[in-house]
């Protein structure tokens, strides 16, 4: 794990024993200066104040300039001082308060202390976690007032908490919260060195059709250890901890109106390498966008038409049967149907119009299998044949109550894949970005057709990796390491022309804060 550093204004401010984590003063940290040789660290800024141009302000400012990951970030410090921004965030936060039935009716106001999103009162656990998610301030003091009528609460004030104001009775909570944030037993003996990178893998243990099954992700954890890379499996609930990591690998089915997209945007906004990145999710999850993109760039696809409610009546003469109808924003064949005639076509369209105002209609192209070409940063890293489910026209056949059957997967050595399959797959992936993609293609007598581009392709033990083996996961992890190293170097060696000017001066003065 990358080293962690706690910054305080005076050594006496941190009264606890902290084996395994260095505690240094702000003056010592500032005097360090940037080092081209140092690994990226996690900086926990616990200075007494983050006020504009205070020593705590400069600790976070210089940490970011050195390529360190610091909490609180400059964005957080700015948000805490800009009243308009604070008010906007508080509006959503107050919905977590509820009635707080554990608080006696006679209590009209109270102050709570939140340490890294943790709080003593279980009734306030969601509120505390959400507070840390929104403001990312290590220590917060929040004043609550009871609403008129007594049935609810509101936030009266919110401010960073001075480390010295933590009551001795809360020492246990503080140390436990700090340990949870650092993701290490706080009282363990110090580690002499840490892994080169900390990678978070977002997954959903309850997903019946994940891009990678749990045993595959566990193998990545093990392989990462052998490469001096710390890999941790995280879930939706771990969103407040996201910035503790160097990079994010999303192994959930992605969607725009979904927490996976929120994770991707947060990671990208923090400058973390992330797969899938937000742009790739936006482009790949909508089949209408892909259809236009591929067509505009001369990549062969099945004939595709756009259907809307006003055009349905005159659509019959444009069809050949069977016809395939698709809701543009769908996954795992759940929103893909086949019509054998006009009447069935109309019935399917009517149902799909309840989900989307636009439907894709494609000519049906039968093949015994689809090619899946896995591409990472423009390089083919695996290839497989996905065979249709037995007796069905798709790879996955969905049944009642979530049941499904799936066709077999046959991994193929990349060098054995026909060139006419590889070339359009690579071209198509490059139109999306520089991430990880699975391009689906059909090889027919009249040529190869690109069906779609997936932003989070399936990768599982014994399936997609069967022809490549452990090397597939090593290639993925090495790619993340390369991106993390490049990010750190870019922070330490910015071109002179790109050195940012201190725009925050004007930003903060304009707010009147």
Q: pLDDT tens digits for 250-305? A: 999 998 888 999 999 999 988 899 999 999 998 898 888 888 889 889 999 999 88
Give the separation between CA 301 and CA 450, rounded to whole angstroms: 5
- Is residue 78 within 8 A of residue 505, CB to CB? The reply is no
Backbone phi, psi, residue 271, to 5°: 80, 10
Q: Give per-residue pLDDT as tens, 37-53.
A: 455 678 899 999 988 77
Give the separation between CA 160 and CA 169, rounded to whole angstroms: 19
- Is residue 71 within 8 A of residue 498, CB to CB? The reply is no
Q: Give per-residue pLDDT as tens, 207-249.
A: 888 999 999 999 999 999 999 899 999 999 888 888 888 899 9
Band (pLDDT 50/70/90 cuts) for residue 112 is: confident
CB burial of 236-250 (b: ≥16 within 10 Å; e: otherwise) equals eeebbbbbbbbbbbb
Q: Give per-residue pLDDT as tens, 393-419.
A: 666 655 565 566 777 899 999 999 999
- Is residue 186 within 8 A of residue 175, CB to CB? The reply is yes
- Is residue 25 within 8 A of residue 13, CB to CB? The reply is no
Q: Give per-residue pLDDT as tens, 449-462.
A: 999 999 999 999 99
Q: Residue 97, Cβ neighbours under 10 Å: how many?
A: 18
What per-residue confidence (pLDDT) applies to 66? Answer: 75
Cα distances (angstroms) measured from residue 260 to each of 27, 88, 235:
40, 23, 10
- pLDDT exceeds cutoff 90 at 334: no
What is the share, in percent, of the chain residues with pLDDT greater than 90? Answer: 38
Q: Give me the mean pLDDT over the 378-390 stretch.
A: 90
Give yes or no for a cis peptide into 348 (omega within 30° of 0). Answer: no
- pLDDT exceeds cutoff 90 at 133: no
Q: Which helix or strand (DSSP H or E) is residue 386 part of?
A: strand 379-387
Band (pLDDT 50/70/90 cuts) for residue 336 is: confident
Selection from 114, 93, 69, 100 nearest residue 267 by Cα: 69
Cα distances (angstroms) measured from residue 171 to each of 16, 177, 428:
8, 10, 56
What per-residue confidence (pLDDT) applies to 318? Answer: 87
Q: Residue 35, Cβ neighbours under 10 Å: how many?
A: 9
Band (pLDDT 50/70/90 cuts) for residue 429 is: very high
Band (pLDDT 50/70/90 cuts) for residue 103 is: low
Give the separation between CA 266 and CA 285, rounded to whole angstroms: 19
Q: Give me the mean pLDDT over the 95-124 stretch.
A: 76
Beta-strand relationship, 304-307 and 359-363: antiparallel
- pLDDT exceeds cutoff 50 at 498: no
Strand partners, 144: 110, 155
What per-residue confidence (pLDDT) applies to 332? Answer: 46
Q: Give me the mean pLDDT over the 418-442 stretch.
A: 96
Band (pLDDT 50/70/90 cuts) for residue 132 is: confident
Q: Which helix or strand (DSSP H or E) is residue 430 part of?
A: helix 419-432
Give the separation between CA 201 and CA 190, rounded to whole angstroms: 26
- Is residue 186 within 8 A of residue 123, CB to CB? The reply is no
Beta-strand relationship, 229-234 and 197-202: parallel
- pLDDT exceeds cutoff 70 at 466: yes
Give the separation between CA 184 and CA 170, rounded to whole angstroms: 20
Cα distances (angstroms) measured from residue 348 to each of 327, 351, 484:
11, 5, 47
Cα distances (angstroms) measured from residue 397 to each of 145, 168, 392, 403:
55, 60, 7, 9
């Amino acid at each position: 794990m990358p080293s962690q550093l706690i910054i305080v204004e005076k050594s006496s401010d941190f009264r606890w024993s902290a084996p395994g984590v260095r505690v240094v003063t702000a003056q010592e940290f500032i005097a360090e200066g940037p080092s081209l040789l140092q690994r990226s660290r996690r900086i926990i800024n616990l200075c007494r104040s983050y006020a504009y141009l205070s020593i705590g302000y400069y600790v976070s400012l210089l940490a970011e300039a050195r390529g360190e990951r610091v909490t609180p970030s400059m964005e957080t410090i700015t948000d805490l001082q800009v009243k308009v921004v604070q008010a906007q965030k508080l509006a959503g936060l107050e919905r977590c308060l509820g009635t707080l039935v554990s608080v006696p009716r006679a209590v009209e106001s109270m102050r709570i202390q939140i340490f890294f999103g943790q709080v003593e009162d279980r009734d306030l656990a969601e509120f505390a976690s959400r507070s840390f998610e929104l403001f990312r301030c290590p220590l917060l003091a929040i004043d609550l007032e009871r609403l008129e009528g007594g049935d609810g609460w509101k936030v009266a004030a919110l401010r960073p908490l001075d480390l010295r104001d933590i009551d001795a009775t809360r020492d246990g909570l503080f140390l436990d919260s700090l340990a949870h944030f650092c993701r290490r037993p706080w009282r363990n003996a110090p580690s002499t060195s840490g892994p080169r990178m900390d990678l978070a893998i977002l997954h959903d243990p309850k997903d019946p059709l994940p891009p990678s099954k749990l045993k595959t992700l566990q193998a990545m954890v093990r392989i990462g250890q052998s490469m001096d890379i710390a890999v941790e499996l995280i879930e939706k609930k771990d969103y407040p901890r996201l910035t503790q990591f160097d990079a994010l690998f999303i192994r959930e089915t992605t969607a725009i109106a979904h927490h996976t997209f929120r994770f991707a945007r947060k990671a990208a906004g923090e400058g973390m390498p992330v797969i899938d990145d937000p742009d790739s999710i936006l482009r790949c999850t909508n089949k209408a966008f892909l259809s236009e993109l591929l067509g505009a760039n001369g990549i062969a696809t099945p004939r595709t038409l756009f259907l809307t409610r006003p055009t349905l009546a005159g659509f019959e003469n444009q069809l050949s049967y069977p016809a395939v109808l698709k809701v543009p924003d769908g996954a795992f064949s759940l929103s893909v149907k086949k019509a054998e005639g006009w009447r069935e076509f109309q019935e399917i369209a009517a149902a799909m119009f309840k989900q989307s105002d636009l439907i894709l209609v494609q000519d049906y192209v039968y093949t015994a299998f689809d090619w899946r070409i896995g591409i990472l940063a423009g390089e083919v890293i695996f290839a497989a044949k996905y065979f249709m489910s037995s007796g069905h026209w798709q790879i996955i056949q969905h049944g009642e109550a979530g049941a499904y059957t799936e066709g077999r997967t046959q991994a193929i050595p990349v060098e054995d894949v026909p060139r006419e399959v590889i070339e359009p797959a690579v071209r198509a992936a490059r139109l999306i970005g520089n991430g990880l993609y699975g391009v689906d293609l059909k090889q027919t007598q009249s040529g190869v057709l690109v069906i779609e581009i997936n932003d989070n392709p399936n990768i599982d033990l014994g399936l997609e990796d069967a022809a490549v083996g452990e090397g597939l996961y090593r290639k993925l992890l090495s790619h993340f390491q390369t991106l993390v190293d490049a990010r750190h170097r870019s922070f330490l060696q910015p071109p002179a022309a790109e050195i940012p000017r201190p725009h925050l001066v004007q930003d903060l003065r304009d707010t009147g804060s």
